[in-house]
């Protein structure tokens, strides 16, 4: 079983995958550290995953807290996905690829792989983003 973790600016979303996706859980960490939030909200009550895959827009401090929680609870170090030049048929349109947030990058890749055609990706989190990808899978840019 895989555990996917999406670490945003104020919430952590978790979902298990074992041949199908389970229910998404959201943990608010506005007024506490992410590590405390995960511990208090029962990360250890989840089934033991074989693998943990994360994305994070919350910075290195938060990333390190998540690593320590996962290591402490399950003895596993999560894999963190980063933005890159090209993956899964999609080419990043940014000159400096790391200027595109990983949350936007994952949404772009997922949307294009579903339609494999021209697509507009609208993502609403702490901010609303709009990104365009052409039918060749080239990210044409976007707006926040």
Identify whether the C-beta of residue 56 lies closer than 8 Å to the C-beta of residue 38.
no
Of 6, 103, 123, 131, which is the active-site residue?
A: 103
Q: What is the pTM of this model?
A: 0.84
* pLDDT above 90 coverage of the chain, percent: 59
Q: Where are the CATH 3.30.420.40 domain residues in the chain?
A: 2-80
13-22, 23-32, 104-113, 123-132: the lowest-pLDDT one? 23-32
Which CATH homologous superfamily contains domain 2-80?
ATPase, nucleotide binding domain (3.30.420.40)
Looking at residue 29, its pLDDT comes to 78
Distance CA 114, CA 89 (A): 11
Whether 103 is catalytic is yes
């Amino acid at each position: 079983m895989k555990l996917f973790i999406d670490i945003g600016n104020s919430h952590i979303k978790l979902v298990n995958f074992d041949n199908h996706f389970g229910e998404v859980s959201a943990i608010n960490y506005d007024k506490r550290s992410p590590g405390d939030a995960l511990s208090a909200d029962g990360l250890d009550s989840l089934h033991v995953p074989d693998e943990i895959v994360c994305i994070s827009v919350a910075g290195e401090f938060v990333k390190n807290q998540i690593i320590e929680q996962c290591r402490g609870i399950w003895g596993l170090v999560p894999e963190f996905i980063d933005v890159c030049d090209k993956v899964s048929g999609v080419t990043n349109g940014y000159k400096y690829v790391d200027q595109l947030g990983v949350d936007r990058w994952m949404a772009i890749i997922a949307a294009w792989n579903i339609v494999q055609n021209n697509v507009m990706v609208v993502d609403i989190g702490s901010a609303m983003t709009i990104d365009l990808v052409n039918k060749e899978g080239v990210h044409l840019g976007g707006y926040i």
